[in-house]
Amino acid sequence: MYVNGRRTPPGLFATHQQSERMIGETEHRTKPAVQPVPASPGLPRILLPGVPIMKKVALYSRSNRKMDRSATPRSAVPPSLVQRAASTTDQGAHHGPASGPAPASSPSDFNSRKATGRSTRVPVAPVVPVPSLDRRPSFLARHDRTISVFAALLLIALLMGYAAVQPPSVVLTQKDIDASVTHTLDHTVLPSPEARAYRQLRRSVVRVRQLGHDKLSDKDQVKGVGTGVVIVDKGVILTSLHVVAGSEKVQVVFDDGTVSEAIVTRTQPENDLAVLQAKTLPDDLVAATMRSTQYLAPGDRVIAVGYPFDIGPSVSAGVVSGLGREYRSPDRGQVLSNLIQFDAAANPGNSGGPLATMDGEVVGIVTAILNPTDQGVFIGIGFAVPIENAAAAAGTSPF
């Protein structure tokens, strides 16, 4: 091949048309738009093995603004290759076309020809194409909107599925509530008011024993039994005076089984009342709640709690038969006034016990029963001292 009348080794140089074709192929392989550098007048485009072609690269930024940059070659042309190209060009001018590659010339030959004034054209160093600065974004960056929409749809589907498996809410009406209450009352056995009142009161009720010394056995014997009620949690107990009258010792037994000796601290004979103080107290002693008789009326339901015939504690229920009654004791001839009459069963042993309302609040202290016969048992009429009088006997206000 001859270039400007000089022979070039085959495979080393290319014509201008071949260079343009190769540049087009390079542009096809690379993304950025590349324009070839125009050839100098009288000098063809030269390609060197291993050296990319110099070209002007038009880069497009992501903001679509065109930027023109002249790429800088990544590697310079080796000096030996430049000398080889110059030597080969000079030899082609003397020897004409040749089929094989021309021998390489030494640096001394190159310098001698330069000194003689021969024209030596050194090949123009090609420009290395600069890769595009606009790299392709990652998969997530390119599909971020699609992924966001898909995630939102998936979340909505999950919420709808969760709502579908939940049981539907039930709106209760007043009719449903009434039916439920009726069903509960019909199928559930509720404790009676009397039972609730007794549970409220039972821990405050004590058994009172009158003790006497037996000379034959040299032991204390029970001479009489009555009932008492704790009105102060420090062991202050109210009972009937005739229960402890004439006793040598008084013993009380609490609801939890604690046995204690007690002493009589006060008496009120006109109301047949006595106040005891226990020496030993249980840990969970509970005082009874007292209620005024101001709002008590005939027909109100009441309970009487005690130890009739030393059996108990026993509960009997009845109503208030009257208020402000009087009673004369057949044994002592004493008259008691302002009494509460009731029809709850009471027998010997109930004396000193509480008469309480359905709330478990004490309104009186059972003191006597009326029986026209000499049997001394209950026939339907009992009497209790109002709690106001009992509190006065204790020296404190009950309310």
| Percent of the residues in the chain that have a pLDDT greater than 90, as a whole number | 34
The residue from 19, 240, 242, 260 that is catalytic is 242
**CA–CA dist 268, 266 (Å, integer):** 7
pTM exceeding the 0.85 threshold for the entire prediction: no
- What number of other Cβ atoms are within 10 A of residue 224's Cβ? 19
Residues contacting residue 59 through CB under 8 Å, at least 6 positions apart: 32, 66, 67, 68, 69, 130, 132, 133, 134
How would you class 163 by CB atoms within 10 Å of its CB: exposed for 0-12, middle for 13-18, buried for 19 or more? exposed
Q: Which of 82-86, 316-320, 380-384 has the lowest mean pLDDT?
A: 82-86
**CA–CA dist 224, 210 (Å, integer):** 5
CATH class in words for 199-278: mainly beta
Collapse the DSSP code of 147 into the 3-class scheme (helix H, G, I; strand E, B; otherwise coil) and give the result: helix
State the pLDDT confidence band at 246, using cuts at 50, 70 and 90: confident
Cβ 57 vs Cβ 71: under 8 Å: yes
- What number of other Cβ atoms are within 10 A of residue 140's Cβ? 8
Where does residue 137 fall: left (phi above 0), alpha (psi -120 to 50 degrees), or beta otherwise? beta
The residue from 19, 204, 240, 351 that is catalytic is 351
Q: Where are the domains of the chain?
A: 2-116, 199-278, 293-394
The residue from 272, 314, 316, 321 that is catalytic is 272
pLDDT digits 0-9 by tens, 50-94: 445 444 444 444 444 444 444 444 444 455 554 555 555 444 444
CA dihedral 171, 174, 176, 177 (to 10 degrees): 110
Gyration radius of the chain's alpha carbons: 63
- Per-residue confidence (pLDDT) for residue 135, from 0 to 100: 56
H or E segment at 208? strand 205-214
CATH architecture of 293-394: Beta Barrel (2.40)
The more confident residue out of 346 and 67 is 346
At residue 25, does pLDDT exceed 60?
no
| Percent of the residues in the chain that have a pLDDT greater than 70, as a whole number | 64
- Per-residue confidence (pLDDT) for residue 379, from 0 to 100: 83
272 catalytic residue (yes or no): yes
Cβ 388 vs Cβ 398: under 8 Å: yes
Cβ 242 vs Cβ 270: under 8 Å: no
Kindly list the distances between the CA atom of residue 350 and the CA atoms of 144, 193, 262, 270, 315, in Å, as whole numbers in the listed order.
91, 21, 19, 19, 10
State the pLDDT confidence band at 385, using cuts at 50, 70 and 90: very high
- Per-residue confidence (pLDDT) for residue 330, from 0 to 100: 78
343 catalytic residue (yes or no): no
Q: Would you say the CATH fold of 293-394 matches that of 199-278? A: yes
**CA–CA dist 363, 90 (Å, integer):** 143
Strand 362-369 vs strand 382-386: parallel, antiparallel, or unpaired? Answer: antiparallel
Place of tokens 């690379």: 30
The more confident residue out of 29 and 364 is 364
pLDDT digits 0-9 by tens, 149-176: 888 899 998 888 887 877 777 788 888 8
**CA–CA dist 302, 287 (Å, integer):** 19
Helix then strand count (H, E) for the chain reads: 9, 17
**CA–CA dist 30, 34 (Å, integer):** 9
- Per-residue confidence (pLDDT) for residue 183, from 0 to 100: 86
Proportion of the chain in helix, strand, coil states, percent, rounded to 5: 30, 30, 45
